[in-house]
Amino acid sequence: MYGSMISSFSPNANLEGTLLTREQVEEISDRISKSVSDNVAKQLKKAMDSSSKEKEGNKG
């Protein structure tokens, strides 16, 4: 990604590399949010399509 790290779980760990800037964190967060949103929308559409087909099948 940026060859960087945000933090460490161990308080005594040596941080290596550079920390991410606020802008980089926001950019990464925005990309993750968009990806998650797109995936949820796809799954919801698939579920709705499946539900519609199931209802059509029950009518006949």
Question: pLDDT tens digits, residue range 4-60?
Answer: 555 555 555 565 677 999 999 999 999 999 999 999 999 999 999 998 888 888 776
What Å distances lie between residue 47 and 34, 54, 56, CA to CA? 20, 10, 14
Residue 4 is predicted with a pLDDT of 54
| Mean pLDDT, the chain, integer | 82
22, 6 contact by CB (below 8 A) = no
Show the tokens assigned to 56. Answer: 């059509």
Q: Give the H or E element holding residue 53.
A: helix 22-59
21, 4 contact by CB (below 8 A) = no
